[in-house]
Amino acid sequence: MAKIPGPPSFDGLKRRIERHRAEGSARKGDHFVRETYRLGLLDARAKAREWFAEYPKAAYWTEVESWRQLDNDQIEFTMRRLPSAD
């Protein structure tokens, strides 16, 4: 009878995440402006709305690039937009 393998190692994933974060400065060449915030839920929603109001999505390609919920009821998120509307 074959033995069932255990869960996969996360070492490869950890290396890929570290490499991606180290290459973060290389993303600067894509001409987007990014800002990362760590706020409470209601404040995070207000900040995102503020960005969309000031930099409309149609003109600046504004978006919430990434987000995650932290243990202490905080939301860490990155907003992204073009530097100017053409």
pLDDT of residue 31: 85
Rounded distance between C-alpha atoms, residue 75 and residue 38, angstroms:
6
Query: For 25-81, how does the pLDDT look when each residue is reduced to its tens digit (9 = 90+)?
Result: 555 567 899 999 999 999 999 999 999 999 999 999 999 999 999 988 999 999 999
Contact 74, 39 (CB under 8 A): yes
56: three-class secondary structure by DSSP? coil
pLDDT of residue 26: 55
pLDDT of residue 52: 96
